[in-house]
Amino acid sequence: MTTELPRIHSDTHTNPIAGSVHWSPLKSLWYSGHLLVALIGGALTIGWTPVLVFLITSAVTLCLGHSLGMHRKLIHHSYDCPRWMEYLFVHLGVLVGMAGPFGMVHTHDLRDWAQRQPDCHPYLRHGSNMLKDAWWQLHCDLRLTHAPTFSPEPRLAEDQMYRFMERTWMLQQVPLAVVLFLCGGLPWVIWGISVRIIISLTGHWLIGYFAHNEGQMDHEVVGAAVQGHNVQWAGVLTMGESWHNNHHAFPGSAALGLYEGQADPGWWVLNALHNLGLVWHIALPEDLPNRSNLKALSPRARHGLVIRQIRPCPIMNALR
């Protein structure tokens, strides 16, 4: 069973269970401040244009930023693209408001490593009741007594653009806020920044909670402390990120919605960018190494009925 990730290094003393949860002032104040602005300011400035700004900025930052930039590209390297596009997508991911590039990669890889062990701390597996888990995830940090070492690869660790984004990740909202203010005044700022951040952060926690506790499964990672579950009602809302059982089974796949009826807007965009020649070397389940501890649970998984493939665009083919 493979429990290591390239950036996470453990030894005989490393322990994914022993540790304590502590209130994080910066994390908590960031969330609480935007929540206060969103609740009061959002109620006072609600209108169709601010709501439209919220929907557009949320869709762009969650799809291009969080899903394609942070998750499928920076964390898993599941496709290649020009460097300028990678920077743009990761910047949009920073705008989601969770953390900078290094913070996102570290948090993801630590949780991923812990969930592949036979057991791990409840914080790392969303193992407490919903209210407690919400407080932990949105306002606190976990301090493992014997944590593994996080060593990002030189391509990430030595990149000055990513270092800048990490140092200034909260301030990255300012340029967007200025543009929104100039275009639509304070209502656009409230809905395009604070309301968007609160919905994105709360939604990310909520989907994470369900995706690690209940829902449909096609695969089991045998011996792992935590199994992923598909949150079927949230496929479109999460840009495909809610197909979490698929992701646990094939973490390196650029496609997350793999089977019939699994909507994956992030994949639709990625496929379109491939047809435009802007992305290449896209990894799909059949391109990944075989996992001996992966057990198929459903007929479609046992028979390999994965439908997600790169689809050529007839218009682009005609133009070529």
pLDDT tens-digit readout, 116-129: 999 999 999 999 99
For residue 314, the model assigns a pLDDT of 56
pLDDT at 1 exceeding the cut of 50:
no
Please give the model's pTM, rounded to 2 decimal places: 0.94
What is the rounded average pLDDT of the residues 88-95?
98
Q: Does 318 score more than 70 pLDDT? A: no
User: Average pLDDT in the 145-165 region?
Assistant: 96
Range 25-35 average pLDDT: 98
**pLDDT class of 149 with cuts at 50, 70, 90:** very high
Q: How far apart are CA 105 and CA 7, in angstroms?
A: 9
Identify the residue whose tokens are 């900025």.
57
* Confidence category of residue 91, pLDDT binned at 50, 70, 90: very high
Does residue 313 register a pLDDT over 70? no
Distances (CA, A) of 213 to 178, 209, 319: 40, 6, 47
- How much is the mean pLDDT over the chain? 94
The predicted model gives 230-255 an average pLDDT of 97
Average pLDDT over residues 15-27: 97
Does position 147 have pLDDT exceeding 90, yes or no? yes
Which pLDDT does position 286 carry in this prediction? 92
Given a cut of 80, is residue 82 above it in pLDDT? yes
The pLDDT of residue 248 is 97
Long-range contacts, 158-162 (Cβ 8 Å, 24+) = 161/87, 162/90, 162/100, 162/101, 162/102
Q: Is 288 exposed, middle or buried (0-12, 13-18, 19+ CB in 10 A)?
A: middle
The share of the chain scoring above pLDDT 70, in percent, equals 96
The confidence band for 2, taking pLDDT boundaries of 50, 70 and 90, is very low
What was the pLDDT predicted at 317?
Answer: 56
* pLDDT-wise least confident of 1-15, 158-172, 191-205, 259-273: 1-15
Cα–Cα distances in angstroms (integers) from residue 216 to residues 42, 69, 212, in the given order: 35, 27, 11
- Please compute the mean of the pLDDT values over residues 245-249 and round it to a whole number: 97
The pLDDT of residue 62? 98
pLDDT at 315: 53
pLDDT the model gives residue 4: 47
Looking up tokens 């965009």, which residue turns up?
A: 269
Q: Is pLDDT above 70 for 236?
A: yes
Is it the case that residue 304 has pLDDT exceeding 90? no
